Amino acid sequence: MSFSSETKEELIRLPLERECCVLAELSALTQTLGSLSLAGGGRLRISWQTENAALARRIYRMLKDRMGLNPHLHFVEHSRLGGRKTCVLTLGEEETPRLLVALRMMEPDEQGVPVLRRTLPRPVITRQCCRRAYVRGAFLGAGSITNPDKAYHLEITARDEGLRDLVEKQLERGGLPARDTLRRGVPVVYLKGAQQIADALALMEAPQAVMRLENIRITRQMRGEANRGRNCDEHNSERQLDAARDQEEAIRLLAIHAGLYTLPPALRQIAEARLEHPELSLEDLGQSLDPPLTKSGTASRLRRLMAEARRLRETLEQQAAEHQT
């Protein structure tokens, strides 16, 4: 099961609490999964569609147990999609107005008769618990999280700008600066970064998902540090080998054109050691001498050798130029 699916399963198992929270979550689920249709005679019917059977049962419990309504649940099998089933919850035209009034989609006219004022819920979100419930419902209905092993990305698809604005507002009131974009012409609200996503999961009351995310984040950090350390070691090894090759080339130049016997004893000793051990680091090269030499002392002697070779090379180049003229 994907990280996104596991997170939704955890959220779906949360108990249904206050009536205000149920209405906030149901409003978001209606905005993301619901649809209105005419049932004849000007009457309305509302329905919800989802491929998540557990989520369909949660919506059913909201309507049945908390609002006293009698939704009908059935399944539609899609032969063209490999036999996948869609759960369809439908509320009859007799009970739909009661729900639409609760969701503030219908309001009384001058005669007190409920009239449809808007096609999307207008939830009242004044408490922190309602904000949690609304964001949770929006995520359950149209949200997803990328596998944290690959990237840190949480998004909620909004079918219209009103839903987008409301989701952004609730996230921002929860301290989460959400961003939005268009994907195939549809607004998408998203969060980036492990900490923002962890905070969003905590806001939706998914502590197990937060722990899974933190474990993955720690593993990724450790893996990244190990890779950086390995790359650094490889880079240092390459630099060490390049420096040793330059030193060996300089020593051979001195040996051919001047002779190592012309060098001071200390430089002659380090030159012979480098020719014998071109693979050793400065520290190991110094320890191979008798008496042993520190890393800084070894580096100092090699710098003096390189300076001698540079002066010899300049002299040879000058002599060659004079010979040509």
Residue 279 lies in a domain: yes
What are the pLDDT digits (tens) for 277-310?
887 888 888 888 888 889 888 889 888 888 888 8
Residue 229 lies in a domain: no
| Residue 263 shares a structural domain with residue 313 | yes
Residue 292 lies in a domain: yes
Per-residue pLDDT, averaged over 42-57, amounts to: 90
Single residue among 205, 222, 255 that ends a domain in this structure: 205
Q: How far is CA 97 from CA 43, 44, 129, 186, in A?
A: 9, 8, 26, 29
Residue 232 lies in a domain: no
Residue 280 lies in a domain: yes
Residue 160 lies in a domain: yes
Amino acid, single-letter form, for residue 147: N
Single residue among 160, 181, 205 that ends a domain in this structure: 205
Predicted local distance difference test score (pLDDT) of residue 325: 64
Residue 254 lies in a domain: yes
HSE-CB for 89 with a 13 A CA cutoff: 26
| Residue 310 shares a structural domain with residue 265 | yes
Q: Give the span between the Cα atoms of 104 and 101, in whole angstroms.
A: 5
What are the pLDDT digits (tens) for 71-118?
998 888 766 656 678 899 999 888 888 988 888 888 877 777 777 788
DSSP 2-16: -HHHHHHHHHHTSPP
| Residue 8 shares a structural domain with residue 95 | yes
What are the pLDDT digits (tens) for 311-324?
888 888 887 777 77
| Residue 150 shares a structural domain with residue 267 | no
Predicted local distance difference test score (pLDDT) of residue 136: 95
**CATH number for the domain harbouring residue 96:** 3.10.28.10
| Residue 201 shares a structural domain with residue 246 | no
Per-residue pLDDT, averaged over 239-260, amounts to: 81
Residue 192 lies in a domain: yes
Partnered with residue 107 across adjacent β-strands are 115
| Residue 163 shares a structural domain with residue 84 | yes
| Residue 194 shares a structural domain with residue 284 | no
Do the beta carbons of residue 221 and residue 236 sit within 8 Å? no
| Residue 246 shares a structural domain with residue 175 | no
Q: Give the span between the Cα atoms of 95 and 85, in whole angstroms.
A: 26
Predicted local distance difference test score (pLDDT) of residue 210: 92
Per-residue pLDDT, averaged over 59-81, amounts to: 85
| Residue 103 shares a structural domain with residue 194 | yes
Domain of 248 in residue numbering reads as 239-324
Structurally, the chain folds into a number of domains equal to 2
| Residue 301 shares a structural domain with residue 187 | no
What are the pLDDT digits (tens) for 185-242?
888 999 998 889 999 999 999 999 999 988 888 887 777 676 666 666 566 667 777 7
Residue 273, pLDDT above cutoff 90: no
What are the pLDDT digits (tens) for 123-145?
878 889 999 999 999 999 999 99
| Residue 16 shares a structural domain with residue 118 | yes
Peptide bond into 291 cis (omega under 30): yes
What are the pLDDT digits (tens) for 143-174?
999 998 888 899 999 888 888 889 999 999 88
CA angle in degrees (0–180, nearest 5) for 104-105-108: 75
Per-residue pLDDT, averaged over 255-282, amounts to: 83
| Residue 131 shares a structural domain with residue 38 | yes
